[in-house]
Amino acid sequence: MSPAGIGLVAFFSVITLILVGMPVAFGMILAGLIVFWAVGDWGPMLAMAGMIPFNKVTEYTFTCVPLFVFMGNLAFKAGIARDLYASARLWTARIAGGLGQATCVSNAFFGAISGSTIAATATFSKLAVPEMTRLGYDRRLTVGCVAAAGTFASVIPPSINVILYGMITEQSVGKMLIAGIVPGMIIALAYMVSIWIRVKRNPNLAGGDKTVASLREALRGSKLLWPVAVTFFLMLGGIYKGIFTPTEGGAVGAFIVLMLCFWMKRLSWGLVWDSLFDTAKTIGSLYVIVVGTFLFSSSFAITRLPNAVGDWLTGLPLHPLLVLVLIIMVYIMLGAIMDTTAMLFLTLPVIFPATVKLGYDPIWFGILIIHVFEIGMVTPPYGLSLFAAKASLPDTDFTDIMMGVIPFLVADIASMIVLIAFPSVVTFLPNLMMG
C-alpha cells in the first residue's frame, strides 16, 4: 500500500475508534504511531514521539489557553451569567420576544468571558428556561433558543477553538481572536432577528410577556453589563493594538474577572480553588489531545496524504466555491456526531492545506469553519449541543429541542452565507493589525 493509502486508512480508523468510544487523544496517538511504523521504522517514530509532546505543550502561544479557561471558570462559578441575563432583559424588554432576545444578548456577553459552548448551554438552561416558561413562552422557542445560543461562545473571542485552530494551522492567534468579533456579532444579530420575526408574526409565541423598562431602569440595571464589556474590549483592544500578546491578554482578562468577583463580593478561596481545579482538569485533557494531534499530523506529513487530498480537490472540475460547499456539508455531518475540538484536531491536517491551495484566506476559513462546526452541533438528531440541553432540561421532550433549534439553524445558515459572500467582515480587523 502507498504511504498516502496508509494515511487514508489511519484517518478513517481514528474516526471509527472515536465512534466506538475511544478517547480522541488515544485514537490519534495510536494511529500516528502505527503510521510511523508502517511508513518508516521505529527509530524515527520514537524520536518524534519523544520530541512532539515537549515541543508543542511548551509553546508560548499555548499558555493563553489556561488563562482563558480560568477566566471562564471564574465567571461561570461566580454566577456572572445570572447578572448578565438580568441586565440584558432590561435592555430587550421593549423588543418582540424580549426574554428570548435577552438570552441571545447575555449569551454573547457570557461567550466573551467564557469561551465554552457547553457551559453557556448548561447555564442558560437553568436561567432562561424557567423564566420564559413562567411567562408562557412557546416551549420550542424557549428550549431551541437556549440550545442554539450557546454556540456563540465558539466564535466570539476568547474562543478556545479559535486559539486551537491558530495553533494547528500556524496562524496568528491574536489575529484569529480579533477576526471572531464581527462574525460573532452577526451570528447573535441573526438569532435576534429570527426571534423578532417569529414573535411579530405570532405574538402568542411570547406568551404573556409584558415586561417593560425605562431607559433609566436599563442603565441602572447595567451595573454588570458594562464591566464585562470593558473587560472584553480592554483584553481584545490590547491584543489588537499590539500592546500585549494573546497570552498577556489572557492574564489581563483573568485578573479583571477576578477583580470583578471581588467587587461583587463573591470572591472566596473556595471559588478560586474550584476554578483552578477545573482549569487543571480541562487543560490536562487538552494537553493529551494536543500531543496526539501533532503526533498524528506529523505522521500524516510523512504519508503526504494532505498533499494528495489538496491535489485531488484542486483538480476537481468544480468552482472553488462548490468545493467549499462540499467541505461545509461534510463538516456539518461530522458536527452532528463529533465534538468540535475533536473535528479540529482530526480534520485540519488534511483539509487545511487543500483550502490554501484553493486560494482561501486561512483566517477567514478558520472563523467560517468553526461556525460550521457549531451548526453541526445543533443539527438534529445527533448534535451534541442538543444533548447538552437535554441533560440540563431532563423534563423536556427531546423532540421539542430538535424542532426548536430549526429556525435558529436557518439563522445560522443565513449568517454563514454572509461570511462566505463578504469575507471582509472576517478579515478587515485582522488586516489592520500590526504584524
CB atoms within 10 A of CB 262: 12
Helices (DSSP H) in 92-180: which residue ranges? 98-114, 117-134, 139-149, 160-169, 173-179
CA distances (Å), 156 to each of 49, 230, 403, 426, in order?
34, 15, 25, 12
Q: How confident is the model at residue 337 (pLDDT cuts 50, 70, 90)?
A: low
CB atoms within 10 A of CB 134: 12
Q: Which of 125, 141, 103, 127 is nearest to 390 (CA)?
A: 125
Mean pLDDT of 10-26: 75
**Which tens digit of pLDDT belongs to each residue from 126-142?**
888 888 888 888 999 99
**Rounded (5°) CA angle 353-176-435:** 95
Q: Residue 194: enclosing H or E segment and its boundaries?
A: helix 181-201
Q: What's the CA gap between 114 and 76, in Å, rounded?
A: 7
Domain parsing of the chain, residue ranges: 3-432
Q: What's the CA gap between 365 and 356, in Å, rounded?
A: 9
Q: Rounded to the nearest 5°, which phi and psi values hold at 395?
A: -85, 0
pLDDT of residue 42: 65
pLDDT of residue 417: 94
Q: How confident is the model at residue 351 (pLDDT cuts 50, 70, 90)?
A: confident
Q: What's the CA gap between 32 and 29, in Å, rounded?
A: 5
The predicted model scores a pTM of 0.84
Q: What's the CA gap between 360 and 374, in Å, rounded?
A: 20
Cell of 379: 443539527
Burial code (b: 16+ CB inside 10 Å, e: under 16) for 213-251 equals beeeebeebbebbebbeebbeebbebbbeeeebbbbbbb
Q: How confident is the model at residue 17 (pLDDT cuts 50, 70, 90)?
A: confident
pLDDT of residue 338: 67
Does pLDDT of 44 surpass 70?
Answer: no
- Could you tell me which residues come within 8 angstroms of residue 328 by beta carbon, excluding any fewer than 6 positions away? 369, 372, 416
Contact 351, 308 (CB under 8 A): no
**Which tens digit of pLDDT belongs to each residue from 279-326?**
888 888 777 777 777 777 777 667 777 677 777 777 778 888 898 988
Burial of residue 408, with CB atoms counted within 10 A of its CB: 0-12 exposed, 13-18 middle, 19 or more buried: buried
Q: How confident is the model at residue 341 (pLDDT cuts 50, 70, 90)?
A: confident
In terms of pLDDT, which residue wins out, 117 or 268? 268
Contact 191, 149 (CB under 8 A): yes
In terms of pLDDT, which residue wins out, 24 or 91? 91
**Which tens digit of pLDDT belongs to each residue from 370-409?**
898 888 878 876 677 787 788 778 888 888 888 989 999 9
pLDDT of residue 412: 92
Q: What's the CA gap between 100 and 82, in Å, rounded?
A: 15
Q: What's the CA gap between 108 and 104, in Å, rounded?
A: 6
Mean pLDDT of the chain: 82
Half-sphere exposure in the Cβ direction for 75 (13 Å, CA):
33
Q: How confident is the model at residue 414 (pLDDT cuts 50, 70, 90)?
A: very high
Q: What's the CA gap between 232 and 80, in Å, rounded?
A: 14
Q: What's the CA gap between 383 and 75, in Å, rounded?
A: 26
In the chain, the N- to C-terminal Cα span, in Å, equals 44
**Which tens digit of pLDDT belongs to each residue from 211-238?**
676 667 777 777 767 777 778 888 888 8
pLDDT of residue 240: 83
Cell of 195: 426571534
Q: What's the CA gap between 215 and 68, in Å, rounded?
A: 33
